């Protein structure tokens, strides 16, 4: 492989431009324009603001809490829907409450509704506690300054 000086000798744009018919002044102005254009294309690296510190641990824990809250809401929705289904069955078919939920599941419909009610109740308490815990960890947007009342 050649050195850097040898590669410069192999490719000399000024000589190439002169060889294809450019005058000396035209070749210099053409190459100068290319250098100016290349210099204007360079963008400075954006400055980082020192007060914007990324705290990955807090972001991960916040995402984890939001996923847990979402899963709790889905579970609550299903248990609440089962509870409402059992109430509707009691209104329209009162004798069906004492039948099993399925042939392979030996639990009666009324016990199934009661368990769904308790599960939805426990999950709603967990969601309320999770929301209060999330709100207590958030900082106010702007701290109060003395004398701004």
Is 79 domain-assigned? yes
Is 33 domain-assigned? no
What is the number of residues in the chain? 149
Span 124-130, average pLDDT: 88
Contact 116, 101 (CB under 8 A): no
Instruction: Tell me the residue range of the domain where 73 lies.
Output: 58-137
Statement: residue 118 has pLDDT above 90 = yes
Domains: count for the chain: 1
pLDDT reported for residue 7: 52
Is 47 domain-assigned? no
Is 27 domain-assigned? no
Mean pLDDT of the chain: 76
Give, in order, the Cα–Cα distances in Å from 73 to each of 21, 31, 113, 120, 131. Answer: 76, 66, 18, 9, 12
Is 101 domain-assigned? yes
- 2-15, pLDDT tens digit by residue? 555 555 555 677 77
pTM: 0.50
Neighbouring CB atoms inside 10 A of 79's CB total 20
- 52-108, pLDDT tens digit by residue? 556 777 777 778 888 888 898 999 999 989 988 888 888 998 888 788 888 787 888
Structure tokens at 125: 């308490």
pLDDT band at 141 (very low <50, low <70, confident <90, very high): low
Is 148 domain-assigned? no
């Amino acid at each position: 492989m050649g050195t850097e000086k040898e590669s410069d000798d192999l490719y000399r744009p000024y000589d190439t431009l002169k060889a294809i018919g450019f005058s000396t002044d035209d070749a210099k102005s053409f190459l100068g324009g290319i250098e100016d254009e290349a210099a204007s294309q360079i963008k400075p690296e954006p400055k980082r603001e020192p007060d914007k510190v990324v705290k990955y641990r807090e972001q991960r824990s916040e995402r984890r809490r939001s996923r847990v809250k979402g899963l709790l809401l889905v579970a609550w929705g299903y248990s609440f829907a089962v509870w409402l289904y059992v109430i509707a069955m009691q209104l329209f078919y009162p004798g069906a409450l004492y039948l099993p939920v399925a042939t392979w599941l030996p639990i009666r419909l009324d016990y199934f509704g009661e368990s769904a009610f308790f599960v939805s109740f426990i999950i709603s308490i967990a969601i309320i506690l999770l929301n209060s815990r999330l709100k207590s960890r958030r900082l106010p947007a702007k701290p109060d300054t003395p004398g701004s009342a």
